[in-house]
Amino acid sequence: MKILITGRYGQLGSELHDLQANYPQYQIVFVDREEMDLSNADQIIEVLDKEQPNVIVSAGAYTAVDKAESDQQLCDAINHLAVKTIGDWAAKNKVKVVHISTDYVFDGNSETPLKETDTPDPINVYGLTKLKGEEALQTSGAVYVIIRTAWVYSTYGANFVKTMMRLMNEREELGVVADQIGTPTYARDLAQAIMDVISAQNFVQGIYHYSNEGKISWYDFAVAIKEINGYTTKMNAIASDAFPTPAKRPNFSLLDKTKIKDTYSVQVPNWRTSLEEMIAKI
């Protein structure tokens, strides 16, 4: 079986690249924007025609959430139109697609963990383009699994954990938003979940939610980073309206993982365990 994975140098793509040694039975091809520019539909089709994969992992995305508010056309091209192109090609060629989406398809007003059946209602451009990508894949006729995730971090790329570690090294005091609730996702764990889905005996089509276990705020996350590293930085809990950003963020992003655990027997580690593992690797 041949697997083509987009977003090679992203956080998730990098973790999937590390995992490939554990799956010698598969031929895995990685592409990034140099090989397959997701804003160029013709190039997407050209690469897929050449590689002829059996499974496409759509891990590449436009993820600059604030920049997306002013860069709507490119964001839509990558997060929506590219997914439509991949889905249409996959349907025509009878190929499976595993597509990575986001908690940002929701408005953040829920008070209970978000299920796959909950109605999406994005509050920013990034979330809207990701939802349109999901819908395009669902209507393409391709056999698909969509995995929504949240608060992704990794030893690779730029992310909250690395930013906090840098700031805690530089500053004596930090304010972190305490009224946005969810659970972080260690990209290594998500990469393993994706490989579990691909390797499963039955490919059960549908939307699934995946993040690490637990329920915390960004402030709680930052405090844990401080504790694990032994920093002495004074941490202040602040409200999100004290830290305005171009794109609105959902206040509640806690994902219910029951479906992916029941369907694919995916193991979901606790957020703190995974954070300690990631920091130890750095």
Structure confidence by residue, pLDDT tens digits, 98-148: 999 999 999 999 999 999 999 999 999 999 999 999 999 999 999 999 999
What is the arithmetic mean of pLDDT over 183-197? 98
Rounded-to-integer distance, Cα 153 and Cα 275, Å: 9
Do the domain assignments include residue 229? no
Domain annotation covers residue 143: yes
How many domains does the chain contain in total?
1
- Where residue 206 sits, what CATH number does that domain have? 3.40.50.720
What residue numbers bound the domain in which 112 lies? 2-158+185-213+250-269
Per the domain annotation, does 192 fall within a domain? yes
pLDDT of 212 higher than 90: yes
Does some domain include residue 171? no
What pLDDT shows up at residue 243? 84
Spell out where the chain has E strands: 2-6, 27-31, 55-58, 96-102, 143-149, 152-153, 173-177, 181-182, 185-186, 206-209, 216-217, 234-238
Does any domain span residue 23? yes
Q: SS3 helix, strand, coil % of the chain, rounded to 5? A: 45, 20, 35
* 174 part of a folded domain: no
Evaluate if pTM is beyond 0.95.
yes
User: Which whole number is the average pLDDT over 226-248?
Assistant: 95
Domain assignment of residue 44, yes or no: yes
Determine the Cα–Cα distance for residues 101 and 62; give it in Å rounded to an integer: 11
Task: Please check whether residue 228 lies inside any domain of the structure.
Answer: no
> Which of the pair, 44 or 244, is modelled with greater confidence?
44
- Catalytic choice (104, 126, 208, 231): 126
Instruction: Tell me, yes or no, if 219 is annotated catalytic.
Output: no
Is-contact 250 106, C-beta < 8 A?
yes
One-character DSSP codes across 75-119:
HHIIIIIHHHHHHHHHHHHT-EEEEEEEGGGS-S--SSPBPTTSP
